[in-house]
Amino acid sequence: MNNKRDILTIKIEEAIKKASECPLCLVLKGDEKRYIEAFFSEHIMNPEYRKIVIHSRGFCKQHFQKILDFAIKHYEELGLALVLKDIIESIANDLKKISVNNESLTKINGFHILNIKNIKKKKALDKLYQIESIIKEREQTCPACKYLKEFDEINVDTLAMMLSSNQSFLKEFKESKGLCLLHLIKLLRIIKLRHKNSFSSLLKDLLSLEMKSFTRLNHELEEFIRKHDYRFSDEPWGIEKDSVKRSIIKLIGEK
């Protein structure tokens, strides 16, 4: 556990040095990258892990897209196809269970379509709506999201421990750009729960840092807007050039 903590503290310290709008988002981005790499190098051929992916009916939209992008870029489409075949077969079996009686179908122009008037009970339609439930459940049970949620909690817990027990690190952190709003709230909750003696002083320090960070971004956005005025369009761009992107990261985190 100590070795794991040491690795995490190093990751967080390195992320802070990169001057991102949220070092915890940066660390989590690295965790996500490693997960996708491990999916192809380890998980695909692991029967137990394949069962987890099949049971969840795949990944959420965001992670399916990232896994596909990785597969195309690194010529791993065959491996992905093996997993997709299992998922497709499972969903096909799900759909077989959602049956509609022949009496509920009407033949029009050679095609069988639902005749709502002939459906005796709402039960038949409810079964059809299970298709939507399958999709929604997949969004909630995505294996990648579960993995990242667990690691995010560990990362936040580690940062809370570092801030409450290391004055030197706290001083360094106070010179950073702070965190995104979501990670700030998570961090404060953990500190209040597990580091009560440090909560009051850290609350003051962290809110002060966040206010400073939002004030800085506000000035950068003002400068970004000003330089889009034709009167100042010849002025060179500075740090405000990507202030729109960084402001969004500060508000909702980095995806």
At residue 134, the pLDDT reads 66
Name residues whose C-beta falls within 8 Å of residue 48's C-beta, 6 or more positions apart in sequence.
none
Closest CA to 70 of 105, 238, 170, 62: 62
CB atoms within 10 A of CB 72: 11
At residue 79, the pLDDT reads 92
CB atoms within 10 A of CB 97: 8
Residue 88: in which H helix or E strand, if any?
helix 77-97
At residue 117, the pLDDT reads 52
Name residues whose C-beta falls within 8 Å of residue 24's C-beta, 6 or more positions apart in sequence.
12, 15, 152, 155, 156, 159, 179, 180, 183, 187
pLDDT in 10s for each residue of the chain, 255 residues: 455 568 889 999 999 999 899 999 999 999 999 999 999 999 988 989 999 998 888 999 999 999 999 999 999 999 999 999 999 998 888 777 665 444 455 555 555 555 555 554 455 566 667 666 766 766 678 999 999 999 999 999 999 999 999 999 999 999 999 999 999 999 999 999 999 898 999 999 999 999 999 999 999 999 999 988 888 888 899 898 999 999 999 999 987
- What interhelical angle do 243-252 and 181-194 show, nearest 10? 40
179, 22 contact by CB (below 8 A): yes
